[in-house]
Copies of this chain bind each other. A is one copy, B any other.
């Protein structure tokens, strides 16, 4: 029986894989056991954040040496989902999701899949929605997750428009501005997940709904986008009979960026009581925390004006990650969290999602 294990590792800079190298050299982990990597690097999280690509290149070089395979082949098979931006108390780190032999049944399963390459003009279009939905289904199949109801969380890394990649003969992209282009890609991936999981009506005009009808959303999707990937990389977590019991996973929607009760509830549901902060012993069992949120586009939070959307000097997502990261880190007592802005159609408008993985 396969069993999922998590290794949350620090990085001293975006090309620092020393902690993983040590595990591989010690034989604690084999390169061939690695299913996916999800992490935070210390770039600005925007279009011109190259720390994600730098980490990915460095990671695949390391794994290539250990697996005896070409780095390019590994990069085409192992999702490497990085989110840039460790504002405030957040700490650069990455979690290695590996699959090892285990005993028992009905545990937490992981499945991964890659969509075909997505050309720039398909980003934020129905073609991307459909491609992501199909890729989610493929990842479920790989994991042996039978029903959408058994899926707990879908993490996607979607391509961002790279203006330099546009050729004159190509169709125009949905938006050529950096921020909106990234947002459309995240939105299409989110509704692709929602479609695969049955959270939105199959007959809805999802392309028209993107960044427009925020009543349509997924409560189980976490999406990042970046120029370092050229297709939609999907990681699905859920319950499947063929998996040995491993980490515990709890996922909760966030109503807004102040939803401390939901955050505490997610930790507690994962077996890590937050009253209000994790006890040190429980903190040691923290496997991985994924959080999505967004600057409320209506300009206020619980009636109070925020300034995230009109700041010429500081990107809205940098604002948001700092604040939401500070809140979740206070509960966890730990800044090694995956907190990502841009939660379009990932949870209710102005809100988002939290997923907590706890080791046994």
Contact = CB atoms under 8 A, between A and B. Distances in A.
Interface in A300-328: 301-302, 304-315, 318-320, 322-327
A93 B304 contact: yes
A10 interface: yes
B335 A86 contact: no
Given A43-B50, A258-B89, A276-B276, A10 B310 contact: no
Contact of A305 (B91, B227, B309): B91
A93 B300 CA distance: 13
Given A260-B331, A323-B322, A46 B276 contact: no
A287 to B, nearest CB: 15
A306 B326 contact: no
A13 interface: yes
Contacts of A326: 88, 257, 322-327
A86 B308 CA distance: 8
B44 A50 contact: no
A106 interface: no
A57 interface: yes
Contact of A330 (B42, B88, B258, B309): B258
A214 to B, nearest CB: 14
Given A53-B15, A57-B15, A277-B260, A312 B88 contact: no
Interface in A145-178: 162-165, 177-178
7 contacts: A46-B311, A48-B307, A61-B61, A90-B306, A258-B277, A258-B330, A304-B334
Interface of A: 10, 12-15, 42-51, 53-54, 57-58, 61, 86-93, 162-165, 177-178, 227, 257-261, 263-264, 274-277, 299, 301-302, 304-315, 318-320, 322-327, 329-331, 333-336
